[in-house]
Amino acid sequence: MRLLQRHLCMIAMSAAMAASAQAAPLVEPTLHIKPAASGAGRVALTLDACGGQTDTRILSALVENKIPATIFVTGIWLKRNAAAVEIMRAHPDLFELENHGGRHIPAVDTPQKIYGIKSAGSPEAVLAEVESGAAALARTGEPAPKWFRGATAEYSPSAIAMIRKLGFKIAGFSINGDGGSLLGAKETTRRIAAAKDGDVIIAHINQPTHAAGEGVVQGLLALKDKGMTFVRLDDADGTGNHGTTD
């Protein structure tokens, strides 16, 4: 009996050791677009729709001010936000919809938690998250997505290689505009208004009750006032690190 217990204990220990040996540090890739040839500069605005609802303050401001944006949507969000999807599809010149996964599960192929969210945990689960996100977009009649951004925007290097093999580029960013939509309006405005030529901004469009959304609008209007041009990822040469785009 004691021998069996020791044996089980050894199995548990070696499994834990194997898991920690496999778990390479996670990466949070950056992304920049090619700077403008002339003028005040250009930036790419990317907005995540993780789950939840639609921040109509942001959506209306984009439509009214003709600001193009790349929206990273999940399967969950698409299901619950038909009215917002309708508005985006009515303005194909402004909105590019890309893949934020089927169920908003981090694209990390070892079991762990990132910002309190459980990772996919295996290569198969990363694959399912990426493919179900693309399938959800296809069901809405959208063109096939070319970009993927995983939940939390953190990845294991092996997951990055796998997603690239599926044919997606991975969308990092260079300016964290709203700190996961948890920042105040003032700080969000300040961060977004500080964007420079070639920057890729990340913020959220799914938290209508958060103060950050007001800051997103004010920051974008400040950039527009400076004469900054906005481009979508499909109109720009995005270059990321950690093998995310090349």
Binding site for Zn ion (CB under 5 A): 48, 50, 151
Closest CA to 153 of 233, 238, 240, 237: 240
d(CA 30, CA 184): 23
Q: Nearer to Zn ion by C-beta: 174 or 198?
A: 174
d(CA 77, CA 219): 25
d(CA 94, CA 135): 22
Output the smallest distance, CB 202 to Zn ion, in A: 9
139 touches 38 (CB < 8 A): no
Output the smallest distance, CB 77 to Zn ion, in A: 9
Output the smallest distance, CB 51 to Zn ion, in A: 8
Q: Nearer to Zn ion by C-beta: 114 or 228?
A: 114
By Cβ distance, which residue is nearest to Zn ion? 50
Output the smallest distance, CB 74 to Zn ion, in A: 7
Q: Nearer to Zn ion by C-beta: 212 or 228?
A: 212
Helix (H), strand (E), coil (C) string for 212-231: HHHHHHHHHHHHHHCCCEEE
Which tokens sit at 195? 């964007």
Cβ neighbour number for residue 211 with a 10 Å cutoff: 16
Output the smallest distance, CB 136 to Zn ion, in A: 14
Q: Nearer to Zn ion by C-beta: 50 or 159?
A: 50
- Would strands 117-118 and 113-114 be described as parallel, antiparallel, or unpaired? antiparallel
How far does the chain reach from its first CA to its final CA, in angstroms?
A: 56
Q: Nearer to Zn ion by C-beta: 50 or 228?
A: 50
Chain centroid, CA 200 distance in Å: 11
Sign of CA dihedral 130, 133, 138, 144: negative
Output the smallest distance, CB 19 to Zn ion, in A: 26
Q: Nearer to Zn ion by C-beta: 151 or 212?
A: 151
Output the smallest distance, CB 18 to Zn ion, in A: 30
Q: Nearer to Zn ion by C-beta: 48 or 142?
A: 48
